[in-house]
Amino acid sequence: MVTKVEKYVIGDSINMMCSACDVEQNHLIQTATKQGKITCAVCEVCATSSTFNRGVKTSVAMGKSKTASPYDRTRKYRKGQAMMHSHFGQGEVTAVIELQKIDVLFGDRTRRLIHAQE
């Protein structure tokens, strides 16, 4: 009898439930044991990390490792930065358009916001 054991390696992505997105998302494996058990994976969409305790997924409350801080128009954003917008929710900067304009992806919609305002 052959038992198939799934082994995971760091850098692999797996599809699993994201506690923050509340849907299944691709997760990038951050850490795994020598036995191939995932110990930490990060959601590719919202960057929330989930940890695994003895094979049981326990979600880490947002704000433990990668925090999306509230959108602040006076702040200067860079591509890839996460933010929490009071209207649109959590987003990620996809591009810096001009000195004071950024494109931010919220869910599946990109919105243009201002930043670096004095």
**Count of positions (residues) in the chain:** 118
Task: Compare residues 48 and 83 and give the one whose CB is closer to Zn ion.
Answer: 48
What one-character-per-residue DSSP string does 39-106 give?
A: EEEEETTT--EEEEETTEEEEPPTTSSS--EEP-TTSPP-TT-EEEETTTEEEEEEEEEETTEEEEEE
Q: How far is the CB of 27 from Zn ion (least distance, A)?
A: 8
Residue corresponding to tokens 């128009």: 73
Task: Compare residues 8 and 50 and give the one whose CB is closer to Zn ion.
Answer: 50
**Residue 68 interacting with Zn ion (CB under 5 A):** no
**Residue 46 interacting with Zn ion (CB under 5 A):** yes
Tell me the site size for Zn ion, rule CB under 5 A.
Answer: 8
Q: How far is the CB of 32 from Zn ion (least distance, A)?
A: 19
List the one residue from 43, 82, 102, 113 that touches Zn ion (CB under 5 A).
Answer: 43
Q: What is the DSSP letter of 23?
A: S
Task: Compare residues 48 and 115 and give the one whose CB is closer to Zn ion.
Answer: 48
Provide CB contacts within 8 A for 60, sequence distance 6+: 48, 49, 50, 51
Which parts of this chain interact with Zn ion (CB under 5 A)? 18, 20-21, 25, 43, 45-46, 48
